[in-house]
Structure 1
Amino acid sequence: MMKAACFRRFGGPEVLELVDLPDPHPGPGEVRIAVRAAGVNASDWKKRAGLMDRELPQTLGYEAAGVVDELGEGVRDAAVGDRVLGFCADGAAQAESAVLSSYAPVPPSLDLAVAAALPAAVETAVRALDRLGVGGGATLLVNGASGNVGSAAVQFAVARGARVIGTAGPANHAAVRAWGAEPLAYGDGLVERVRALAPGGVDLALDVAGSGVLPELVELAGGPGHVLTVADAAGAREHGVVFSRGDSGRALHALDGIGAMVAAGAFTPPPVRTFPLAAIADAHRAGEEGGTRGKIVLVVD
């Protein structure tokens, strides 16, 4: 048996508990890990509040990092004892053990709490850039450039040879600049500020923040077909913009090599704020209250 985060009724963080569940076992092509860290995302508290899946009870967690302790049939690219990060398809990563359906190695120099903060943000960013067709010579506007997904999108777009303009709060402009992008303040007057840097507008725009600026992004990018959002489904429908979500066409190849990139200094991960698995309710409260820069991660001793 193992301890796992669970809720049996919908509500606030107080409904979260640790329960005993049977140890999971990997299927073909999967690995099981002894979880050392698991990422916490906004979808976790949306699920807990009853805004997503309606069945009960539910476990939590789609991304984790840890040490492989069981191999599924046919696995040749991992061995027991390997440190890996990846995705838990059954949404039960916030536990002492988890089965990863997609995974990649973690270099010895990379802390596993940092590794657990990478999969969701990296996959979302790469999926968005792939869908937009971001490549060398393009000018990309990223709305929300300093968050977990936005910072990943900026860094991957720069690595592809794109010119990147990113909106962020003033306190984060230095970080955006360090990633190779040109920072701008968000808020009223965005179109004018962008045109001061790119008089002809931009080729493509990515909305990560969901802050209601899709009309401005459409204007700057020359039409809704050049804009994608990962955060504003309603706005996408209203303005004819593509909305990309993680349940279709996932960019799982994004995991390949990300650990080595971080270890080599070629990619800067978000800062992490850690909570013990037993303090999952506190982690949810911190995430919902906002104000935490970076990623909330649960750690398992």
Structure 2
Amino acid sequence: MTAQHDQNAGPDPYTSPKTFYGSELRRVREEAGLSQTEVGERCFCSGTYIGQFEAAVRRPQPDISRMLDEAFGTGKHFRRLCELARRSKLPSYFEDAAELEKLAEAISTYESTFVPGLLQTESYARALINAAQRFAPSKVVDDLVRSRMERGSVVDEATGPLLWVIIHEAVLNVRVGGASVMAEQLSALAETMRMNRRVLVQVLPYAAGEQAFLNGTMVLMAFADSPPAVYTESAYTGQLIDEPSLVAQYQRAYDLVRAASLPSEASLALIESTAKEFAKQ
């Protein structure tokens, strides 16, 4: 197979460091007379994966960039471009997970304390980020809020992922930003549950007692053409997990938590009643 079998058009290379990386990869590959599949074989990945880098769908990865430099004999060219392309307004530990979030066909998430980021209102997100970044300049806070709101837009897209959310009942009672912010956030969450058929939310009640994930956040992402991955997060760090046996263990634990949670309709009723209580305050 030759390079001519791959797609010929690519994104504008000067739009961002990520698109420039993709255009450079395409240029070097085509000059070498190789297809995406052939390059993938040299980097121990699929041709589809290489194509996603060229199309600037996926963010460049350090290990793949190193193998590209070795395969093409380009010194540290792709490693340097990778470093530039990976600069982000998001926390460094979350960057790869945020990239995968955009590609997922389905996202299953559990949150013990806060409404998940994809479903947060701007006021709610700002209150959380202000608390976590107490000593950061206002511009940093503004950038983080903007990034979180941009992430949330995927929920409203017709081709966005199926989103299955489990929140602990504590999420409804942790007063973030005051009563008015909570009333707005819970009302918005209820509206999404009613109007968006691709979003399903369940509440894990206090009565369920001890369950997995009680002390943190877990996001399980499933993809059309690659294995699933799990992202876990605590206050100032996070971990992306793709080891198959661990991902399977998280999936089994999530299924148990889902079984212990309230049905969607009962969850909606609880969320709406709590929103009304906050609105009265």
Normalising to structure 2: TM-score of the pair?
0.27
Flag the structure with larger Rg. Answer: 2
- Structure number with higher helix proportion: 2
* TM-score normalized with structure 1 length: 0.26
Between Structure 1 and Structure 2, which shows a larger proportion of strand residues?
1
